[in-house]
Amino acid sequence: MGFEVSFFLIDVFFTTITLFIASKLSFIKIEFKVLIPIVAIVTLVSLLPYIGWILSIIAFCYMVIRVSDAELIDCFWVVLFAKLVAIGAALILGVLGVNVSIFLGPQ
């Protein structure tokens, strides 16, 4: 249970921040306070087994398009960038459990 909660919080935090930054750099205009519930809903959907990740991308694009009147391709690239940064942050912070002890050698 602790894994899911910590990954959920990190995913919501980093995805919201990166999506906000990416939207400022792209043609998508969306406010920060609107992004928080969108990202929370999408992250909950992504916790579904097997198909959650694809449903979350579809839901993400749908909600961002509805809120910002953006085009689908712009939304897709912004969402892809935000998700990659969030997964990278989770890997760096060790939430996904990547074992780096093989790089450190015997202790």
pLDDT in tens, 24-82: 887 778 888 888 888 889 888 888 888 888 898 889 889 888 888 888 888 888 878 87
**28 within some domain:** yes
Q: Which of 19-23, 58-62, 87-91 has the lowest average pLDDT?
A: 87-91
Chain center to CA of 96: 14
**67 within some domain:** yes
- Taking a C-beta distance cutoff of 8 angstroms, is the pair 56, 43 a contact? yes
**42 within some domain:** yes
Examine the pLDDT at 101 and tell me if it is beyond 60.
no
Q: How confident is the model at residue 5 (pLDDT cuts 50, 70, 90)?
A: low
- Find the mean pLDDT for residues 81-91: 75
- Taking a C-beta distance cutoff of 8 angstroms, is the pair 61, 18 a contact? no
Say how far apart CA 91 and CA 21 lie, in whole Å.
20
Q: What is the pLDDT of residue 100?
A: 46
For residues 86 and 80, the model is more confident at 80
Q: What is the pLDDT of residue 61?
A: 87
**77 within some domain:** yes
Determine the structural domain holding residue 22 and report its residue range.
Answer: 2-93
**12 within some domain:** yes
- Find the mean pLDDT for residues 12-21: 81
**103 within some domain:** no
**85 within some domain:** yes
**71 within some domain:** yes
Report how far apart, in Å, the C-alpha atoms of 103 and of each of 16, 19, 93, 106 are.
Answer: 32, 32, 16, 9
Number of domains in the chain: 1
